[in-house]
Structure 1
Amino acid sequence: MSKSFPQRAQYVIIGGGIVGCSVAYHLTKMGHTDVVLLEQGQLSCGTTWHAAGLVGQLRSQPAMTNLIRYSTQLYADLEAETGLATGWMQCGSVTVARTDDRMTMLMRTAAAARAQGVEVDVLTPQEAGDKWPVMQTGDLKGGIWMPGDGKANPTDLTQSLARGARNGGARVIEGVKVTDITTKDGAVTGVVTDHGTIEAQVVVNCAGQWAREIGKMCGVNVPLHSAEHMYIVTEPMKGIKLDLPVLRDPDGYIYFKEETGGLVMGGFEPEAKPWGMDGIPEKFQFSLLPDDWDQFEILLNNALIRVPDMETAGVRKFYNGPESFTPDNNYLLGEAPELVNFFVGAGFNSMGIASAGGAGRALAEWIVEGEATSDLFAVDIRRFADFNNNPKWLHDRVKETLGLHYAMPWPNRELDTARPFRRSPLYDRLAAKRSVFGSKMGWERANWFAPEGTKADTEYSFGRQNWHAAVAEEHKAVREGVAVFDQTSFAKLLVQGRDACTELNRICAANIDVPIGKTVYTGLLNKRGGFESDLTVIRTKVDTFFIITGSAQAVRDADWISRNFARGAYVFMTDVTSAWSVLALMGPKSRDVLGALTKSDLSNDSFPFGICKSIDLGYATVMANRMTYVGELGWELIVPTEFSVGVYDDLMRVGADHGIRDAGYYALDGLRIEKGYRAWSRELTPDITPLHAGLGFAVDFDKAGGFIGKDALLAAKADPDHLNRRIIQLVLNDADAQIWGGEAVLCDGAEVGEVRSAGYGHTLGAAVALCDVEVGRKIDQAFIESHSFVIDLAGQHIKTTAYLRTPYDPKSERVRA
């Protein structure tokens, strides 16, 4: 080494692939020069060097699309800055469809792209062939053209980012292996290497396939698993030009790009091949796995259909390079919940080249600012829990998720492997009633109940799926009678201690310093005033609060709350999710059913909305929380797990006289959308404030001590342009149209936003959408009434009626009945 090995640094980054180099580059761009990047071999020697280098802009979430759009701009400018070529070429991309369903999906993709500001054109088969002359088009239905997409050379791009980091003051050291992570008092303190120990304030794990093992050194879960990814490079072929666009043929599971006059052809087999179950071999650098033509056969056969001339083209090289994949096909980013100042950027699912620029910037900003600066929930490492790091579960799940890369992205698509996983005490009872289960945070949850004589399985389509009529009956039971939802998957947190009230009140936007037995709906806001979560807080004692939050938010919310406790505060938080079931008894007849099992007074005077009481219920004693997520009279019954089956059986027994029935999450979602209730990660995100969402009533600006995000919200209230963006409700005028979310919203013919949640409002008689829209002026009732809104449904413009306030029981009189 030209310099002595460093003994300390502010930031130590582990891993010299494209992501690690991007983080180092962006830290220096933010003025942070005390950066050390450690690579065990040579830069890009792990996975980066054999990546295909495709850069496609569009993702299902606008926030993720924005990160990749930044990547394309960075890659375009980087060579001029560093003097090193990146191989970036904006050649555009063509994606083709062999089936009507795929063409519908591409039409939906085009609408979403326009809503997100990504240039796109819909192509006929002939037009697709004009863009990509060497393919045969006789079996195609059409395609789409995205001119902003491109390709890059992964190794050159990594070297260019590394030079940019060095130019900014970072030190990049190759040939150094990290052997341990040091910690103290729940925070990282440094790294141990085969060249010595480096003290560090922040450690960033960008170790690619080795990231899971690095995490295990310090008790951090990094749920990823390696799998084989194969492609071939042909000899030069006639008609292949340098600027040939990238081609994706997802019905054939394949992609193509030009390379030195020939084609790179690879793909994602529907039956993937996990690798590295016993760990990644030592010194696995610039290494490949053995050719596997049997595994590759399905891709090659499809490639010959699309490009018949490949049959006579020689194969210059077969690449079989392992890459790391996550359980949901999104990468892992952010500060680990288990260890302060330990960050992760890994598991890029064959999308690392496209994502690295934006992901590196986002992670650098997170490190410096102390919280994410944009909506990163889709890739936030806190969306997983420790049980997701189980190696057998990872092996089986990743085998499926990798195989779904080019599978049809059906609405409500459920993963099938490694299930059933987490089960409520009622799982067997609901299964016996023909429940069709979905999965959320590993929980088996009843999506819908199949009537006798019908298929108890979801048949996917872009139109109405086979559960529509069954869910309509569940929906009707809630609106007109009574139904039970098993919501045991809700996360539950217990916050206790003499400082619990003070600390929670500063973290929550609403005032939770309320009488014992009061339930408060509140948001957790970031410094920008955006939602980090929304949840309910029940004050059960002077110094004890019971928090109920979404199934997917347990780790994230617990981390956010605990990290915002003041140092030295006497307050403790415990995840008690597994100790309690939640049975939601909902509907106008719910009081009658509950009253048959308890001696407690359930009248409005004694038990008003927003109150939680301990009541007798048959032989059990439960917490009855008068709250609703469906817009009807009802109680969330918080039941000790061991009493859940007995309580459920009692409810069904006495409820039989009132027509009680089970209802699932498809009905729940439709009911809440019809009522206009917002949901975290859909209408509520870190970029959306309570003012945008119409939830200003859940913010207490006057409470003592203030709250996180108050200054930003006060500034927003004073900004005349803040309400140019709002969450609005659209009810489709066509009762037969089916929407799923992600569709573009147009106002007076111009794209202004997208559908964030969609469901069929059986009471209103049409599909209903909750939409995030932004226009050039304040969105108020006058604006809504004077402008027309349509939804782009796969190229068909569906007229709607717009609302700021739901048309279903707008004064919530039924909730307080």
Structure 2
Amino acid sequence: MASKNFPDRAQYVIIGGGIVGCSVAYHLAKMGHTDVVLLEQGQLSCGTTWHAAGLVGQLRSQPAMTNLIRYSTELYAQLEAETGLATGWNECGSVTVARSDDRMTMLLRTAAAARAQGVDVDVITASEAQDKWPVMQVDDVKGGLWMPGDGKANPTDLTQSLAKGARMNGAKIIEGVTVTDILTKDGAVTGVVTDHGTIEADVVVNCGGQWARKLGQMCGVNVPLHSAEHMYIVTERIEGVNPDLPVLRDPDGYIYFKEETGGLVMGGFEPEAKPWAMDGIPDKFFFQLLPDDWDQFEILLENALIRVPQMADTGVRKFYNGPESFTPDNNYLLGEAPELKNFFVGAGFNSMGIASAGGAGRALAEWIVEGGPTSDLFAVDIRRFANFNNNPTWLHDRVKETLGLHYAMPWPNRELDTARPFRRSALFDRLKAKNAVFGSKMGWERANFFAAEGQDPVIEYSFGRQNWHDNVAQEHKATREDVAVFDQSSFAKLLVQGRDACEQLNQICAANVDVEIGDTVYTGVLNERGGYESDLTVLRLKAQEFMLITGSAQAVHDADWIRKNFDENAHVFLTDVTAAWSVLAVMGPRSRDVLKTLTKADLSNEAFPFATSQEIDLGYATVIANRMTYVGELGWELLVPVEFTAGVYDDLMAAGAEFGIRDAGYYALEGLRLEKGFRAWSRELTPDISPLQAGLSFAVDFDKPGGFIGKDALLAAKADPDHMKTRIIQLVLEDSAPQLWGGEAVLCDGEEIGEVRSAAYGHTLGASVALCQLDATEKVTADFIRSHTFEIDLAGIRFAAKAHLRSPYDPKSERPKANG
């Protein structure tokens, strides 16, 4: 029975009164959506928020994430004036120090990325770092970074201030209410059941922090996060510590410091974390801490005493051990759940909730109101995970590692080690026996490269060339000159069938997919703004049956996007068939020779043109052969039923021996595709980039009947002279020695103009190759490129680069269409 004055209906119900839930309520109300009810089971901020350290560091590896935190700092700076409640916001800046040459290289790379993203940053010496933070010793410090725009806040005060701002604009906040069930009907959320009564709702937002996973389970939604213990201490007063002391980060020691009442808060992220509450989070865990664990904290304390020797003679005022939720990849979870319409999630903030809450709350509010994200949020999109990522045993083992990644060295191509192997292709054991070194994508074990006989099959990380450079050169050479086989079984495959399949897909795809049976179409899938939601290949298998092949990480995201954009009355069905089919890419000028020895099918240009697919015999197996390439050579992607995969692979290797066939991995694939300038989704192609800016207008059909999602925005962009100031271009370094990895700053005539989105060594071109996003002050045209000089900032050193709108390797793309 409902309590007196307890609402029985609301447009928006938010579960959870931590800083993120209050931020969502604040932003919905500020946007004029006043029918908002926020429910908190205890008191505001009583879960994780109250014991957060309150650090706000602006810079993140993705520009889109940096923009969210930059907005947070702007919001926190003016919130007190708006609400009259203090937030404790202090733009005191931050110092990050390096103890090793590798860490200093990383900080120099960070500085370049910060400048490219418009974040104020200075590279400083050890003595300059000490000037800004006099309490530390710097004998072992190589240098550091100073970021004046960083700061700190009081998490509880900030939460109360956001809550007051929400109330001032019409939102209702009710404490002491526990949600016991979530109601659904016909695949959509309809309300919540609480211990005070039931509330009908159009939209429910799960900001339940550590309880978010359990709330998701109430309605069949996967929220993959796990709690771990997170510890810090507060010291007694220390001479020289004042309220304006910057935040200090010493990532080589896994530690951070900030001032608090004349003493120091010292905490960190130990390399191996301690997961908590395997049997579920206790319901009434409000304003509570876990027992002190000095053994777990020891590695942090040892490093703190190195940095601040005075701490040895300073008392500890308080030991905080508060659990926080962490996700499998250290990024938070945001967005509408693919399993349930109108059910949104904002959780799993991995000790970054205070910094991220302002921007994440606004982004989620906009997503709710607009029906989709208003910027590139894939790094935190809940649809980057699948149901298997919510396995509690897997989560427990993975979270032990991800907490420690906060201050671990962010090596290029860094792979996670725990909870693996996870998903394995049919060839995993065969490739492992051939010295494959595996990486992981969407849980799939994928061969990155193949170690030579006698070589340890491991990745030796560095910021320069890594130990696999020469191995990949050989794989690269084989693909360009002979033939190579890539196991690309992790590709997501979506089968679209039904009476209206063609018409519905044609509305969703920018290219025309109403083609002959057997034709293959490369297309973008766009949002209403004309930006990329995905890019994929469409195989028309029958009149109303299509196979969509998309990226490994995109299965849940793309399936959700496509389903949501089907007309609800249409006769059309989408099925994820990824696990049923392997993909073996046979690529290189001798690929036709190899396949001819195994099939009766005619593989000539006349009988089997480029961008077509056929069902063919291959040894004993029957496969779908798709004549496409991601490496810029003659080749076929073979879609093989999983049960035939091992036999097909063995036949290919036996038949290909005389043609120099060899295995190749994803590191080679990346270099090959970048030499050709082929774009990749979530790298060059994002929700904020259009096909015009990406140089992919050829994959858009403006004239097809019925139009497509994003067409109006693209037509407007064509007429907008400013649209092409942003563009994706290819850069090739003029010096053959440096190794680019992505994230570096791009300079035009000495001024930052953009950043490297993807990079690898181009062994055919003999230098590092990059695809870059330029944001210029004028239209980026061939004339613009010819009339300016370009450089790439690699850890503070600038290297000249040649710019291209069309790849210098086989610019007319004649090689993939070779006859024989």
| Mapping for residues 660-679 of structure 1, pairs under 5 Å | 660-679=661-680
CA shift digits 1:313-356 (9 cap, x unpaired): 11100000000000000000000000000000000000000000
| Mapping for residues 418-497 of structure 1, pairs under 5 Å | 418-497=419-498
Residue 245 of structure 2 is matched in structure 1 by 244
Please tell me whether residue 736 in structure 1 is matched to residue 737 in structure 2: yes
Aligned to 1:815, what secondary structure does the other structure show? helix
Please tell me whether residue 259 in structure 1 is matched to residue 256 in structure 2: no
Decide whether the 8 Å contact of 2:38 with 2:174 is kept in 1. yes
| Mapping for residues 212-361 of structure 1, pairs under 5 Å | 212-361=213-362
In the TM superposition, residue 446 of structure 1 has moved relative to its aligned partner by 0.2
* AA matched with 1:807: P
Residue 365 of structure 1 is matched in structure 2 by 366
Residue 613 of structure 2 is matched in structure 1 by 612
In the TM superposition, residue 282 of structure 1 has moved relative to its aligned partner by 2.3
* AA matched with 1:441: M
In the TM superposition, residue 722 of structure 1 has moved relative to its aligned partner by 0.8
Residue 186 of structure 1 is matched in structure 2 by 187
Aligned to 1:469, what secondary structure does the other structure show? helix
| Mapping for residues 537-552 of structure 1, pairs under 5 Å | 537-552=538-553
In the TM superposition, residue 455 of structure 1 has moved relative to its aligned partner by 1.5
| Mapping for residues 96-135 of structure 1, pairs under 5 Å | 96-135=97-136
Aligned partners of 1:406, 1:375: CA distance in 2, in Å? 25
CA shift digits 1:530-563 (9 cap, x unpaired): 0000000000000100000000000000000000
Residue 624 of structure 1 is matched in structure 2 by 625
Aligned partners of 2:510, 2:749: CA distance in 1, in Å? 36
In the TM superposition, residue 271 of structure 1 has moved relative to its aligned partner by 1.1
Aligned to 1:367, what secondary structure does the other structure show? helix
In the TM superposition, residue 3 of structure 1 has moved relative to its aligned partner by 6.1
Gaps of 5+ in 2: none
Aligned partners of 1:3, 1:486: CA distance in 2, in Å? 63
Aligned partners of 2:285, 2:102: CA distance in 1, in Å? 42
Residue 749 of structure 1 is matched in structure 2 by 750
Aligned partners of 1:381, 1:276: CA distance in 2, in Å? 23
4+ runs deviating over 4 angstroms: none
Aligned partners of 1:103, 1:703: CA distance in 2, in Å? 54
Aligned to 1:485, what secondary structure does the other structure show? strand
Aligned partners of 2:299, 2:780: CA distance in 1, in Å? 52
Residue 206 of structure 1 is matched in structure 2 by 207
* AA matched with 1:449: F
* AA matched with 1:534: D
Aligned partners of 1:224, 1:543: CA distance in 2, in Å? 39
Residue 764 of structure 1 is matched in structure 2 by 765
Aligned partners of 2:503, 2:196: CA distance in 1, in Å? 47
In the TM superposition, residue 605 of structure 1 has moved relative to its aligned partner by 0.8
Residue 802 of structure 1 is matched in structure 2 by 803
Aligned partners of 2:97, 2:22: CA distance in 1, in Å? 34
* AA matched with 1:554: A
Aligned partners of 1:749, 1:265: CA distance in 2, in Å? 40
Aligned residue pairs, count: 817
TM-score (norm 2): 0.99
Aligned partners of 2:350, 2:413: CA distance in 1, in Å? 21
* AA matched with 1:793: L
CA shift digits 1:706-764 (9 cap, x unpaired): 00000000000000111111001000011000110000000001101000000110000
* AA matched with 1:785: R
Indicate the RMSD between aligned Cα atoms, in angstroms. 0.7
Residue 536 of structure 1 is matched in structure 2 by 537
Residue 510 of structure 1 is matched in structure 2 by 511
Decide whether the 8 Å contact of 2:492 with 2:552 is kept in 1. yes
Residue 148 of structure 2 is matched in structure 1 by 147
Residue 166 of structure 1 is matched in structure 2 by 167
Aligned partners of 1:425, 1:453: CA distance in 2, in Å? 25
| Mapping for residues 638-677 of structure 1, pairs under 5 Å | 638-677=639-678
Residue 593 of structure 1 is matched in structure 2 by 594
* AA matched with 1:640: P
* AA matched with 1:88: W
Decide whether the 8 Å contact of 2:3 with 2:196 is kept in 1. no
Aligned partners of 1:259, 1:95: CA distance in 2, in Å? 19
CA shift digits 1:246-286 (9 cap, x unpaired): 00000000000000000000000001100011111121000
Residue 702 of structure 1 is matched in structure 2 by 703
Aligned to 2:746, what secondary structure does the other structure show? strand
* AA matched with 1:147: P
Decide whether the 8 Å contact of 2:493 with 2:555 is kept in 1. yes
Question: Alignment identity in percent?
Answer: 81
Decide whether the 8 Å contact of 2:130 with 2:137 is kept in 1. yes
Decide whether the 8 Å contact of 2:747 with 2:753 is kept in 1. yes
Aligned to 2:656, what secondary structure does the other structure show? helix
In the TM superposition, residue 105 of structure 1 has moved relative to its aligned partner by 0.1
CA shift digits 1:771-797 (9 cap, x unpaired): 001111111111111100000000000
In the TM superposition, residue 182 of structure 1 has moved relative to its aligned partner by 0.3
Aligned partners of 1:273, 1:622: CA distance in 2, in Å? 48
In the TM superposition, residue 109 of structure 1 has moved relative to its aligned partner by 0.2
* AA matched with 1:353: I
* AA matched with 1:410: W
Aligned to 1:566, what secondary structure does the other structure show? coil
* AA matched with 1:194: D
CA shift digits 1:131-167 (9 cap, x unpaired): 1000000100000000000000000000000000001
Aligned to 1:397, what secondary structure does the other structure show? helix
Aligned partners of 2:404, 2:159: CA distance in 1, in Å? 27
Aligned partners of 1:312, 1:808: CA distance in 2, in Å? 64
Residue 376 of structure 1 is matched in structure 2 by 377
Please tell me whether residue 84 in structure 1 is matched to residue 118 in structure 2: no
Gaps of 5+ in 1: none
TM-score (norm 1): 1.00
In the TM superposition, residue 90 of structure 1 has moved relative to its aligned partner by 0.1
Decide whether the 8 Å contact of 2:91 with 2:149 is kept in 1. yes
